[in-house]
Amino acid sequence: MKQFNVPAIYRSNLIAAVKNSRKAKDKMKKDFSPTLLDFGPIQIFLSRHFGLCFGVENAIDIAFRTIDENPGKRIFLLSEMIHNPQVNEDLKHRGIQFIQDTNGKQIIPFESITSDDVVIIPAFGTTLAIEKILKDIGIKTEQYNTTCPFVEKVWNRSEQIAQKQYSVIIHGKPTHEETRATFSHAAFNTPTIVVNDMKETILLGKYITGEKNESDFYIEFSGRYSDGFDVKKDLQRFGVVNQTTMLASDTQAIADYLKVLILNHYQLNEQTISERFAETRDTLCYATNDNQSAVYGLLNQVADLAIVVGGYNSSNTSHLVELCEEKLPTYFIDGEHRIMSQSSIEHYNFHKKENTTSTNFLTNKNPIKILLTSGASCPDTMVENVITKLISFYSINKTIEEIKNEFEV
């Protein structure tokens, strides 16, 4: 796999030693059990897969290289390059300005941008409408485009099935940058609609079968469908693609549900289902799959609590939190500074979209066992910093350097 030039400030010698050791012993990535970092009174179990994925490393590489290649020029990012506050702040400190916020709200008017400026497309990609605006200004959008290759794979798959006269159903968060971009690319080629979860999928199914009046569709799915969408015609034949950071199991469950519904409604079988339903299992992102599978493996370990590190607006990270929450107390933090003391931690409740503070989160158990993972846009240094903060509250038997050396043998 291609190697990227990611700044050293995002690298961790400890995490690199652990990952390299696991990779050497498990080249086929079939072992999803966690890695134990045993400090004596505190035991930290690291997820088998976590941290910066291919697409994020690619984006970081391009962004920092863009700065180096364009001294004296104004450099803009269309929006947050990735959902990580540290990386985005680092880019701002290097002089990069953000044109839009994460929700698409304009911060810098397009009218103020000139053809002499540099604009970086974020890892989530962008809509065709925004791409046209930039090209009309004279911006070469392809020159500094950090769109994740796996997001582009979803776009390409959407185009392929559109050419065969299928509509597209996107499983994603309707306001997320990636979903907005994927919707734009899919809707350019074929009727397209977005569903957020299984509840909305079941509701959509009632329009497919005719159980619900089609006029209600345009109210219940307002803002989710492409221009000219004909609920009666455009839901007869479709494929399901995804926002790559959603729970892979949820996307597959949605596709399976709709496939069975189509089989029964049109009285088809496995040999004739392709008349109405396009198989798109290949659009699930490998990193999303690996990180989520690793969390399932992590949760097989008996532990007292879990900590998930990442940006609070990161979709893939929130899903890791969601998985952990099902089994044990889980704390979602965006850095070690949220751990204020041995008894106090400030963490994010992504369900309520608010910060909260918990006390006595580190129990008196000896040893205390903690599960630890991070999102796909979280640098490994942040994970090591969390480990350093946690062990600082204990009289540990081994240092981080000693633990690192054990994995380098």
Structure tokens at 71: 């001294």
Question: CA 137, CA 134: separation in Å to the nearest integer?
Answer: 5
Angle at 184 between CA 312 and CA 233, to 5 degrees: 120
Question: CA 303, CA 201: separation in Å to the nearest integer?
Answer: 35
Question: CA 374, CA 44: separation in Å to the nearest integer?
Answer: 13
Coil, strand, or helix at residue 21?
helix
Residue identified by tokens 């549900």 is 257
Residue identified by tokens 């291919």 is 54
Instruction: Tell me the Cα Rg of the chain.
Output: 23
Q: Which residues are catalytic?
A: 178
Look at phi and psi of residue 218 and say left if phi exceeds 0, alpha if psi is from -120 to 50, else beta. Answer: alpha
| Contact indicator for 331, 356 with CB cutoff of 8 Å | no
Residue 374: Cβ-neighbour burial (10 angstroms; 0-12, 13-18, 19+): buried
Q: What b/e sequence results for 297-315 when a residue is b if at least 16 CB atoms lie within 10 Å of its CB, and e otherwise?
A: bbbeeebbbbbbbbbbbbb
Question: CA 343, CA 104: separation in Å to the nearest integer?
Answer: 38
- Which residues does 369 contact at the CB level (< 8 Å), separation at least 6? 43, 45, 301, 302, 303, 304
DSSP per residue, 320-365: HHHHHHTTS-EEEESSGGGB-SSSEEEEEETTTTEEEEEES-S-S-
